Structure 1
Amino acid sequence: MSVEHLSPEAMAALVDGELSSRAEHRAKVHLVHCGECRAEVQLQRKAAALVRSMDADVQCSGRLKQKLAAIPQMVEEARPAAHFGVDGCRRPESIVDAVDLALRKLQRRQK
């Protein structure tokens, strides 16, 4: 049996509290069964705590600041694409959306 590990992005989002409650639950269930991912998440938590505890001014270039400031807009623009699968097919966003899609498919088949 192969174990799919959490991606580094998922680990960082878990540590930063950025996962949805459902995704957080799945990640935590995985951590119960996977010591390798659990150890990596613990390291990331320690690193995050260390960075938060530092009392130093961090200097960065104006270009880096611009790139960091653009991230929220890039995420917002990419968000609608998240509801489409790799095959280009639309994925339902909610149970109501799933039922609506199913009804439309049935109506097309009956025509």
Structure 2
Amino acid sequence: MMIGTWRLIVTLQPERRWRVLFKCSMMPDGALNSGNVEDQELIDLIEELNKTTDEEARKKLVKQAVSVIEANTLQSYIIHPNIVVGVNDRVKNWEPGSEEYYMLNNELEVE
């Protein structure tokens, strides 16, 4: 992740940009937390941010959260490969993976 780019975005418009990075990608139950990030210091900052209404205090919390992300090299992935594959029960000896294109081999069978 290019944290420098995120720093620019979240500090210029923290009210609009912090949710995807923090709430969705950096919380243990976040919908986009495919990196399984779980950092208690960061969790505490995000929870405090969610309760804070003062704009200047929120900006300060956003900057602190970004510092924690940088210091601990936490990763948030831009691409989330949630691939759904339907395979007929008649197909044998083949398991779908996360590839976009599948390579079929001579062991694949269709009954």
Q: Same fold (TM over 0.5)?
A: no
Identify the TM-score tier after normalising by the shorter chain: under 0.3
Higher RCO (CA < 8 A, seq sep 6+): 2
TM-score after normalising by structure 1: 0.27
In proportion to residue count, which structure has more helix? Answer: 1
